[in-house]
A = this chain, B = another copy of it.
Amino acid sequence: VACGFHAGDPSIMRRTCATAVELGVRIGAHVGYRDLAGFGRRRLDVEPPLLHDETLYQLGGLDACARAEGGAVSYVKPHGALYHRCSTDADAADAVVGALRAFGAGLAVVGAPGSALLRRADAAGLDAIPEGFADRAYSPDGALVARSEHGAVLDPDAAVAQAVAIASTGSATAAGGTAVAVAVRTLCVHGDTAGAVALARRVREALEQAGVAVAPFA
């Protein structure tokens, strides 16, 4: 169980940290591109040295908000377009991991299974957490179906079923019907889709009914 953030309104960050501390939820820094108009979901060619320093700055800013509320950042997960870039771009992954090491708080790192990010995080001695998605369809090759394609976002029933399948069996049913391995330690439910809170509740209940223990990874 985790909650995360991206660069933006520091009051929303601090208040969300307060709620997380109250509920015992881990706090993660969802670092991303400074592209508020695109909500960090558009590719932006930030050079690795600046990416390193942006990560450091956003991480430090959120951590200050968390500490003011008696918590602390315990993991980092790149947001949006930066998440996808860090799956394959080793220089970007190095920049993010380098910033985490410079920050020096033993943070966990969340990313796609098999991604450059997790390989670099692991090599740097950080806890590398592979992530699956409850509410997004998988391709037969294990990648996510692109948001621009039909059926990319699952309906609530399918999302609940997929979450249980991934957590119980380590595999999901890809678009087309074949099974695809999804070996992960955390599951994402996107917070900006309609009904996200209700879906998260249903996913949690279904996991518990399936005998899957839900616990913080960090």
Q: Are A62 and B60 in contact (CB under 8 A)?
A: yes
Q: Are B64 and A56 in contact (CB under 8 A)?
A: yes
Q: Are B81 and A50 in contact (CB under 8 A)?
A: no
Q: How far is the CB of A14 from chain B (nearest CB, A)?
A: 5
**Residue of A43, A46, A57, A102 with most partner-chain B CB within 10 A:** A57
- How many copies are assembled? 4
Q: Are A56 and B65 in contact (CB under 8 A)?
A: yes
Judged by a CB distance under 8 angstroms, whether A54 is at the interface is yes
Chain A residues close to B by CB (< 8 Å) = 9-11, 13-14, 34-38, 42-46, 49-50, 53-54, 56-65, 67-68, 81, 99, 102-104
Query: Could you list 19 further interchain pairs (A-B, Cβ under 8 angstroms) beyond the known A44-B45, A60-B67, A67-B102?
Result: A9-B50, A10-B53, A10-B54, A11-B50, A11-B53, A13-B57, A35-B35, A35-B44, A42-B46, A43-B43, A45-B81, A57-B62, A59-B64, A60-B60, A60-B61, A60-B63, A60-B64, A67-B103, A68-B102
